Amino acid sequence: MSNLNDMALFVEVARAKSFRKAAEAAGIPNSTLSRRISELEKAIGLRLLHRTTRKIELTEAGQLYYARSKRIVDEARLAHEQLGAMLEQPSGVLRVSLPVDLATLYLTPIIADFARHYPGITFEFDLTPRRVDLVTEPFDVAIRIGKLEDSGLIARQIGRHSRYLYASPGYIEASGEPATPADLARHECICMPRSVSWTLHRGTETVDVGINGRFTLNSVGMISALAVNHQGIGLLPEKIVAEDLASGRLRRILSDWQGSAVSIYAVTETRLIPAKTQRFIEFLSTKLM
């Protein structure tokens, strides 16, 4: 209602029994306050205040209106205070759709850290490759990798993964190490479905190289595992293979070259999101960007 703000001003006048004091408390000119109260009385159709040069008194209608309005204004003030507290320490159930590999191979410790920061939040995660419907399904946010379709949803980039070429020492010993991107055509490349080439970059130079291999699959985790097991070369996010690289199970090859970076997005139905979702997106962004 357009009168709610004027109702709050009326309550302030009734409490202070003074337009001057109420205007100071509200931070508006005395003339503005007087005009707003007059407009409220006109909208209601009844006089709420008796005004004299010395004092202000409530009419019978004003007493009834004050009793009802005070409860409404106090409830609204309490709601704002509670929402402010939620912004500081949000709570509730956070429902998130996550890509399986990203969640299990990389996001889990980040999410655990977030949970420690916000003990009032409980979590429901759906790990699936399918594209959930944020309009009809009860998810607060979906985390997505790669190019997004134009769906009318709100997408915010929260991360970017660099990708490089990796193979196991065993594979390199058996099949040799490619010296140029063109050499990849003669190697076993473990690739995603419908991938017939890899785009590689070196500074300002870009090449498209044809690839083939025995394994085609839609799991970054399994591509990494197959590479560790000497089955070929994978084009993989650096952060996903960090442990295998540190342990020596994988080696980076063609180290001057890298694949196109992959973006990570947080997708929501609307920009008006609750504090728990806002904090989750912000937290992931600080860790992934």
CATH number at 224 reads 3.40.190.290
Of 87, 107, 131, the last residue of a domain is: 87
Shared-domain flag, residues 157 and 247: yes
The pairing of beta strand 141-145 with beta strand 154-167: unpaired
Of 87, 114, 142, the last residue of a domain is: 87
Shared-domain flag, residues 206 and 125: yes
Shared-domain flag, residues 109 and 248: yes
Assign residue 36 the CATH number of its domain. Answer: 1.10.10.10
Of 56, 87, 118, the last residue of a domain is: 87
Q: What is the DSSP string of the chain?
A: -TTHHHHHHHHHHHHHT-HHHHHHHHTS-HHHHHHHHHHHHHHHTS--EEE-SS-EEE-HHHHHHHHHHHHHHHHHHHHHHHHHHHHHS--EEEEEEE-HHHIIIIIHHHHHHHHHH-TTEEEEEEE-SS---TTTS--SEEEEESPPP--S-EEEEEEEEEEEEEE-HHHHHHH---SSGGGGGGS-EEB-TT--EEEEEETTEEEEEE---S-B-S-HHHHHHHHHTTS-EEEEETTTTHHHHHHTS-EEESTT-EEEEEEEEEEES-S---HHHHHHHHHHHHHH-
Shared-domain flag, residues 81 and 131: no
For the whole model, what pTM was predicted? 0.69
Shared-domain flag, residues 49 and 69: yes
Residue-level pLDDT at 82: 66
Is the CA virtual torsion 171, 177, 183, 184 positive or negative?
positive
> Count of domains in the chain?
2
Closest CA to 227 of 208, 253, 202: 253
Shared-domain flag, residues 288 and 183: yes
At residue 173 the predicted structure's pLDDT band, cuts being 50, 70 and 90, is very high
Shared-domain flag, residues 96 and 176: yes
Shared-domain flag, residues 199 and 265: yes
pLDDT at 1 over 60: no
Select the more confidently predicted residue: 272 or 186. Answer: 186
Residue-level pLDDT at 74: 80
pLDDT at 27 over 70: yes
Shared-domain flag, residues 49 and 116: no
Shared-domain flag, residues 96 and 206: yes
pLDDT at 207 over 60: yes
Shared-domain flag, residues 125 and 175: yes
Shared-domain flag, residues 79 and 108: no
Domain that holds residue 77: 4-87
Q: Are 96 and 139 in contact (CB under 8 A)?
A: yes
